[in-house]
């Protein structure tokens, strides 16, 4: 015999009150705690089969994760923050394209309205001169990093170093561009991305001597730990630009290792040392390149290559 509707409603309310007090949901029909969700929005009692809720809202994420790191990587609430933007990417941006959502051009009235919105948006994003200077410095870092072809991780590290220099008041009395360039060079060193001072200077608007002085000052004041540059880091890039084989690269690395053990590397430019090793290896592997070709790629002089080459072949016992 079916129970009256009022009685069933009363029992369901009592079951819900009981589940709220214990923290465990129970079935209003049989008071079982074996409640499962079928994934389709239904809560079902495993013992009696009663469908307790048929439109249950799943408030969890649509993705699955099996450990903490996966949950952290898949979790998303807005765009990730980044150190490469002065506001860390937390503010909104208005697109500069005068198009609507369907790609159609805006009317003249709407274009004027969007122009005013963009202008005020930019003013709001940079509240004072300090933020405007930071925005300029980070944009310079991004521009130079793009020209050098370094990964995004280097840009992030360079931005962090610049922010630290700004907080320590190391910018005072120095050009923003000079400090930004020095921070980018330091980031390349820290991340093991071989870029010489000459290469960084080529994409900067600052002289190489100023970059070197500012880099040493920032590294000392911030106590940045820098490992000596390994000439072998330059070998793959130089060999690729010269269209040399893997055999030449291996031989160049062998020359660097053997001669470095004899102390020849001390006080030498890593780029010049790597260039000389590649030149020597190309001769030994019958893939000859001229000293000028190697010098142009490595951005060193032919005299440097000749001097390092003579030292290396004498140390290797090659005549």
Residues 6+ apart with CB under 8 A from 217: 170, 182
d(CA 108, CA 106): 7
Phi, psi of 115 (to 5 degrees): -60, -45
Paired with 99 in beta bridges are: 105
Residue 30 counted as an annotated binding residue: yes
Instruction: Indicate the DSSP class of residue 105.
Output: B
Q: Is residue 231 packed enough to be buried (19+ CB in 10 Å), middle (13-18) or exposed (0-12)?
A: buried
Q: What is the CA radius of gyration of the chain?
A: 32
The dihedral sign for the CA sequence 255, 260, 262, 264: positive
Other CB atoms within a 10 A radius of the CB of residue 218 amount to 24
Residue 27 counted as an annotated binding residue: yes
Tokens of 122: 């930019």
- The SS3 of residue 252 is helix
Spatial contact of 165 and 116, defined as CB atoms under 8 Å apart: no
d(CA 258, CA 177): 40
Residues 6+ apart with CB under 8 A from 111: 98
d(CA 290, CA 248): 14
d(CA 151, CA 188): 10
The binding site consists of 27, 30, 45, 48
The binding site for Zn(2+) consists of 27, 30, 45, 48
């Amino acid at each position: 015999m079916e129970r009256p509707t009022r009685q069933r409603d009363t029992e369901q309310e009592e079951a819900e009150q009981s589940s709220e007090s214990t923290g465990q949901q129970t079935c209003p029909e049989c008071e079982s705690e074996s409640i499962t969700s079928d994934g389709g929005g239904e809560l079902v009692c495993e013992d009696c089969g009663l469908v307790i809720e048929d439109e249950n809202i799943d408030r969890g994420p649509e993705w699955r994760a099996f450990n903490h790191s996966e949950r952290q990587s898949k979790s998303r609430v807005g765009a990730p923050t980044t150190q490469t933007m002065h506001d860390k990417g937390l503010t909104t941006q208005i697109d500069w394209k005068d198009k609507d959502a369907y790609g159609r051009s805006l009317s003249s009235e709407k274009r004027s309205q969007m122009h005013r919105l963009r202008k005020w948006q930019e003013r709001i994003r940079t509240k004072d001169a300090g933020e405007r200077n930071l925005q300029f410095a980070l944009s310079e870092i991004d521009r130079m990093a793009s020209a050098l072809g370094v990964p995004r991780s280097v840009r992030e590290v360079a931005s962090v170093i610049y922010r630290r220099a700004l907080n320590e008041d190391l910018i005072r009395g120095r050009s923003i561009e000079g400090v930004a360039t020095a921070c980018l060079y330091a980031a390349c060193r820290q991340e093991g991305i071989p870029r010489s001072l000459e290469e960084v200077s080529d994409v900067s608007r600052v002289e190489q001597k100023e970059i070197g002085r500012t880099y040493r000052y920032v590294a000392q004041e911030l106590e940045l730990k820098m490992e000596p540059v390994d000439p072998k880091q330059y070998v793959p890039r130089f060999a690729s630009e010269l269209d040399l084989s893997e055999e030449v690269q291996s031989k160049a690395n062998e020359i660097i290792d053997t001669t470095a053990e004899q102390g020849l590397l001390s006080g030498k430019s890593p780029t010049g040392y790597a260039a000389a090793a590649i030149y020597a290896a190309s001769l030994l592997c019958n893939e000859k390149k001229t000293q000028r070709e190697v010098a142009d790629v490595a951005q060193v002089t032919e005299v440097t290559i000749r001097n390092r080459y003579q030292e290396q072949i004498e140390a290797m016992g090659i005549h």
